[in-house]
Chains A and B, each alone.
Chain A
Amino acid sequence: MSDQIKDLNPAKECRAMGKSIKRREDARFVQGRGTYVDDIELPKMLHMAIVHSPYAHALIKGIDTAEALKVPGVKAIITAKDLAGFNLDWIPTLAGDKQMVLATDRVMYQYQEVAAVFAETRAQAVDAAQLVEVDYEPLEVVADPFKAREDKVILRTDREKKTNHIFNWNVGDREATDKALAEAEVRVKQKAYYPRVHASPLEPCAIVADMNTATGRLTLYLTSQAPHAHRTVVSLVTGIPESNIRIVSPDIGGGFGNKVPVYPGYVCAAAGTIVLGVPVKWVATRTESMTTDSFARDFHMEAEIGATKEGKVTALKVTTVADHGAFDAAADPSKYPAGLFSICTGSYDFPTAFTEVDAYYTNKTPGGVAYRCSFRVTEASYMIERAMDTAARELNMDPAEFRFKNFIQKEQFPYNSPLGWTYDSGDYETTFKVALEKVGYEELRKEQAEKRAKGEIMGIGISTFTEIVGAGPSKDFDILGIKMFDGAEIRIHPTGSVIVRAGTKSQGQGHETTWAQIVAEELGLDVDKILVEEGDTDTAPYGLGTYASRSTPTAGGALALGARRIREKAKRIAAHLLEVSADDIEWEDYKFQIKGVPSKSVTTQDCAFAAYTNPAPGDEPGLETTYYYDPPNLTFPHGAYICVVDIDKSTGEVKVRRFVAIDDCGTIINPMIVEGQVHGGLAEGFAMAFMQEIVYDEEGNHLNTNYTDYLIPTAYEVPKFETGNTVTPSPHHPIGAKGVGESPTVGSPAAYVNAVIDALSPYGVSEIDMPISREKVFSKLRAAGVEAF
């Protein structure tokens, strides 16, 4: 029993929601008893290594595997030609494009997969991969989307349309927005580049593929955030019936959106086991992870805000050039090629708005995953929060005052945004006031004025963001045609313990604890008697997986409603046990009691025993259900973040002195887990703001392929966070929850950057792109004539 609940009396013991119950999964993680894909060893298993292209763009004139095949232990080497025999040389992407599995006649980006080697040991496979000789003829490289836009070199010669332009996606009223901007008393433009970054889960992508040639059954142990979706994709691509495919997603060492796509390594391992008839393991190296996993962001954005002189916003226009790399493999719902970027009006009541995104192919790794982000929401939030600060500066207003003037008001919810969303609920003013008070905003501004008078550099950055998560309602949301509902199964055993299974898949989110809390709360059961299982497609109900902060809004709803369905049946059993009509039974204090007679009651556990030993006459025995929940709307968590920085004018070093984060994610299931999620997300936001960017040179060389060059913040770099919550429940979610996993990553980068710009604004600095290195700040200060000493 968890420490937090064992001392409570039995009646309260059941009250599970809102409790900081320790994460039940952590016991096995901290004791090294988790099972990850790399822990899986099967008899006769081979290991796979991949040959990657050093060229970003080149024709392949020939591939010589003769020397590699001589390496002891090597069993086979496959190239695109071999895959073509199985129609697996190209696979569909989530975005409706197609991508090569192994390079066919050409390579399109550096480190692209060219051949796969299968050997008895990993070392043999790696040695042999280095001996595969590939004859390349270099082609001109286009590593910049603005250069790609010129269409001088067409990259995708396989496509009918001879252009590097992938799509233009726009939403809103262009004409009305242009008119409102033209008529605006004040017009403010803001450019911002959100750099290409990597989700960087510590566990790289991995697979053990096992085709049982006797039964024809293909089992894939896979680092998958969406096992069911992957099973369907594997079936569609290979033609193997879905019933003959089992995907097991065991413990996962972080996902962050990175483990949603289907990667060439997975396909090659599956092809290997099908052809060779023995299991095949592939675990990506760190360099493979950094260079071939789907990237995130890479949005070149420009916003224009129109406003009155008094500071009331009148219009917003945002245009974006998106770099999608060599194939359009962005992971977005089908109807939304630029994800939910149209949340870019944020927390503000813009009467009119328009946004468009143009995406281009380049000779870079494909991707566009929703890295701790509900599909491009991170980019949208960053853009609007940066632009709001710039507009406040132009208007000579305090950025807090400017935000208060323009917030969507509490009574406006449900709020219809000019870009088509219906925000479910929110109370932006209250959350912001809590944050301002906690940080001591007015005192900080006074301190800043005093410091400025002394030539010291201090900044305060604000981000009052709105998220859009929980994809989503089936009327609008699908991936490859599969609607984005989610399922949960609840089985209550005769003795009252429970097994819960869901179509989601935790990668650190703590579902084994929070899912149990929801069911325990709904049924008055003990959390510790509820086992949660996810990730095995043979046993879990269908679901689209865990990413985009969707688990609680979707599966969380399925669990609550499934539990309520069970409660309805248990009520009939209770009536049978108490020898009254079901109409005379009420659910009170986590028990079924005869209305108004608390002494005549039974528990769910009593009903469970009866369901197997003394079922209600005419009722089906047993006590279990499977529930598929199709949410009626998305949820809209929000937050108010305030960052305080001090800048060393000699070195350009930015020190984050304070960071206050007040989140409103609706009903909270487990405050400790929410706080943990917020801390993790703020650390990742810090990383992007100050440390991270995937850098390519003009030749398409990927210049930071490991954690020596691509930086991950440690406890030393990460500042102290002061967190808190307000609670505005979602009116449409069964338990009022909204999801929180991504809010801190979405909301925090703008707060960090706004703080730095606020600090540097007296020196005429209005632009600085992430990652904000010391060098960038140092150069800005020297350019502004600030003396180092």
Chain B
Amino acid sequence: MKLNYDGQEQINADYDAVWAFINNPEKVAKCLPDVEKLEITGDKSFTAHVKVGVGPVRGRFKFDVGLEPDAENNKMNVNLRGGGLGTAIDLTAGANIAQQQEQTQLDWQGEAVVRGPAATVGARVLDRKARELITHVFAEVKRNIDEEQA
């Protein structure tokens, strides 16, 4: 099943600080919830082992995440592929970054394709849970940058 989400964060930092943060796989990875193990596999990629609980699907998922900065268009693209417990998740997200006076605005949108038992759960709980997770990630990006700036 395909799930689409979007949102916006106002970050109390300038463009460069935000750009630097989201280009750093270690910092981005820390914004994921319930990370149990993290492997930085390149300067723009990491593997995260995450604890997941969606309805009856509970256990550990492994995600390979790649950051694809597009500086020319002030955009960061993120590809995530992985899963576990027979479930596969492919997520592509994009964030447009724009300086607005003293703040930087992050406009993000994401599309997730979920396959396997988690997709079956989908109609009832997955959509809400996935929205919660993706919103959490970008909220954490904001919180961490805000903290760095404080």
Contacts and interface: CB of A to CB of B under 8 A. Distances in A.
A699 B87 contact: no
Interface stretch (A49-57, A431-439, A552-560, A629-637): A49-57
A705 B120 contact: yes
A42 interface: no
Given A699-B113, A703-B119, A130 B86 contact: yes
B133 interface: no
A706 B124 CA distance: 14
A216 interface: no
Given A54-B116, A697-B1, A703 B123 contact: yes
Contacts of A130: 59, 84-86
Contacts of B88: 54-55, 136
A150 interface: no
Interface residues of B, number: 20
Interface in B57-88: 59, 62, 83-88
A67 B124 CA distance: 33
A699 B86 contact: no
B122 interface: yes
Given A699-B1, A701-B1, A110 B116 contact: yes
B115 interface: yes
B78 to A, nearest CB: 18
B interface majority secondary structure: strand
Interface string B93-127: 00000000000000000000111110110110000
B146 interface: no
A55 B114 CA distance: 9
Size range of the interface on A?
A: 20 to 34
A613 B115 CA distance: 71
B2 interface: yes
B86 A54 contact: yes
A701 B88 CA distance: 11
A74 to B, nearest CB: 18
A291 to B, nearest CB: 9
B115 A110 contact: yes
A502 to B, nearest CB: 41
A134 to B, nearest CB: 9
B90 interface: yes
Nearest to B59: A130
Contacts of A702: 120
Contacts of B113: 699
A576 to B, nearest CB: 70
B115 A56 contact: yes
A110 B114 CA distance: 12
* Chain A CB within 10 Å, residue with most, of B83, B120, B123: B120
Nearest to B118: A54
A384 to B, nearest CB: 35
A54 B83 CA distance: 9
B41 to A, nearest CB: 15
A133 B47 CA distance: 14
A571 to B, nearest CB: 64
A731 interface: no
A110 B90 CA distance: 15
Interface string A683-708: 00000000000000111111111100
30 contacts: A51-B86, A54-B86, A54-B87, A54-B115, A55-B88, A55-B115, A56-B115, A130-B59, A130-B84, A130-B85, A130-B86, A133-B62, A136-B88, A287-B117, A697-B1, A697-B119, A699-B1, A699-B115, A699-B119, A701-B1, A701-B115, A701-B122, A702-B120, A703-B1, A703-B119, A703-B122, A704-B120, A705-B120, A706-B120, A709-B120
10 tightest A-B CB contacts, nearest first: A54-B116, A54-B88, A701-B119, A54-B115, A705-B120, A697-B1, A54-B86, A54-B87, A52-B86, A130-B85
Interface of B: 1-2, 59, 62, 83-88, 90, 113-117, 119-120, 122-123
